[in-house]
Amino acid sequence: MMSYDESAVETLRQYIQIESVSNTTNYEECVTFLKAQAESIGLECKVIQLKPNRPVVIMKWTGMKPDLPAICLNSHMDVVPAEADKWSHPPFSAHIDEHGRIFGRGTQDMKSVGIQYLEAVRRLKREEAVLARTLVLTFVPDEEMGGQEGMKMFVKTKAFRKLNIGFALDEGVASNRPGHFVLFYGEKHKWSVKFHVTGDVGHGCLNIPNTAGAKLARLLKSIYDFREEQFELAGRRVDNPDFVSINATIIQGGTQENVIPSEFVVSADIRLPPKVNIDEWKATMNSWCEDAGEGCWIEEVVCEIIDKPTYLDESNPYYEPFQETIQKMGYQLLPQVCYAMTDARYLRNLGISVFGFTPLTGEPRLHKHDEFIGRKEFLLGITMYYRILLNIGYVPEYN
């Protein structure tokens, strides 16, 4: 008989060995694997298809008070691609080295978390624990592609509404500070735009006035002066989530080297902290256009505003027991806003409070070569979820 720990590690390795890269996988192997897990734990399991090859696996453990809103443990099944020749061990081998590091795509982002949820629940069930609240485990597709064909569609289904979810856990990130674990309670808004800069045309050999190029130069100066200011305020930390990040990412325009073009288009990736005033932000962007000159305008490309943040105060009955569990284990939480986007935003926008939490310390290696998780850290994470669930599974208030 394999020990409990050994079999948990083996389960993770099997999941890692499924090559579920977002747009090439058929998800079928994931579904089969997860169904088998649910059965071995004794969880109700259902699979819904959002569209062909976009399944969501839903597992359910009904609590003593099934009328209370349920707790959702969410994870995504897909992973980002891996360039095998740049890895020390094949990215879908789940190789364990002599230091107990398990290598593979998804060991941090976020198959490890999916298995930690399952193993924590397996342990609770084995000990015949009974929670007040119903636990729902969801395994979604397409997160790494933005969740358009995953969580975004899932939250609009009847199956989702029927789950009556009041609180959710989703992915976080490894923390660089020993003994400290990151807790994401919000994420930046994404507001990508195209700045259209137009002007007079003419022969490329003439210094004619009012050209798109001159306006482009002024626009870029405004953008990059502002960017520098934010970077300074952010303590020159590149991922400080409390400040605006802005980058010109594509510049298009022109037809031929000796023709002054009528238009340049600048695409910009913009991320705003949750506290930003949206009207003020619009005014700022408009002022850049005005300063650049007549004929400059803004086309909105992506505007994803998360208007319902998760609060970490007494209005949120889950925070206290969550934090208490971590502290009793001798650790600290580092609450922060996520600098990127996750599926949590689709839940938050329904008013569901979500904690983004990956029980991992050390160097974050998500989306990098040689992504790995230590065997010990992986097992500690199971214990953390086990204790967290025991605590939050009894949160009495409606939220």
**Cα angle at 392 between 324 and 380, to 5 degrees?**
65
Torsion angle of the four alpha carbons 154, 159, 161, 164, in this order, in degrees rounded to the nearest 10: -110
* Cβ at position 313, least distance to Zn ion in Å: 27
- Say if CB 388 and CB 331 are below 8 A apart: no
Tokens of 241: 């989530």
- Kindly report the backbone phi and psi dihedral angles of residue 288, in degrees, each rounded to the nearest multiple of 5, phi listed first: -65, -40
Residue (166 or 356) nearer to Zn ion, CB: 356
Tokens of 246: 């802005």
Choosing from 119, 142, 143, 371, the catalytic residue is 143
State the number of binding residues for Zn ion (CB under 5 A). 3
Residue (107 or 310) nearer to Zn ion, CB: 107
* Cβ at position 1, least distance to Zn ion in Å: 34
* Cβ at position 98, least distance to Zn ion in Å: 28
Residue-wise over 225-262: b if at least 16 C-beta within 10 A, else e?
ebbeebbeebeeeeebbbbbbbebeeeebeeeeeebbb
Select from 51, 38, 18 the least CA-distant residue to 142.
Answer: 51
**Choices 54-62, 107-115, 155-163, 296-304 (CB under 5 A): range interacting with Zn ion:** 107-115
For residue 109, state whether it binds Zn ion (rule: CB under 5 A). yes
Residue (79 or 223) nearer to Zn ion, CB: 79
Site string for Zn ion, 299-328 (x = CB under 5 A): ------------------------------
- Say if CB 310 and CB 354 are below 8 A apart: yes
Residue 10: how many CA atoms within 13 Å on its side-chain side? 8
* Cβ at position 80, least distance to Zn ion in Å: 8
**Choices 103-111, 239-247, 312-320, 372-380 (CB under 5 A): range interacting with Zn ion:** 103-111
Residue (185 or 264) nearer to Zn ion, CB: 185
Choosing from 78, 142, 144, 371, the catalytic residue is 78
Question: How many angstroms separate the CA atoms of 310 and 318, rounded?
Answer: 11
Tokens of 339: 């600098």
**For the chain, how big is the Rg over CA atoms in Å?**
24
**Cα angle at 387 between 385 and 388, to 5 degrees?**
60
Q: Which residue has the CB atom at the shortest distance from Zn ion? A: 109
291 is catalytic: no
Neighbours of 21 (CB within 10 A): 17
10 is catalytic: no
For residue 140, state whether it binds Zn ion (rule: CB under 5 A). no
**Choices 9-17, 52-60, 105-113, 383-391 (CB under 5 A): range interacting with Zn ion:** 105-113
Place of tokens 């238009």: 263
**Choices 17-25, 101-109, 293-301, 381-389 (CB under 5 A): range interacting with Zn ion:** 101-109
For residue 110, state whether it binds Zn ion (rule: CB under 5 A). yes
Residue (171 or 377) nearer to Zn ion, CB: 171
Q: Which of residues 141-180 bind Zn ion (CB under 5 A)?
A: 171
Residue (169 or 197) nearer to Zn ion, CB: 169
Residues making contact with Zn ion (CB under 5 A): 109-110, 171
Residues with catalytic function = 78, 143
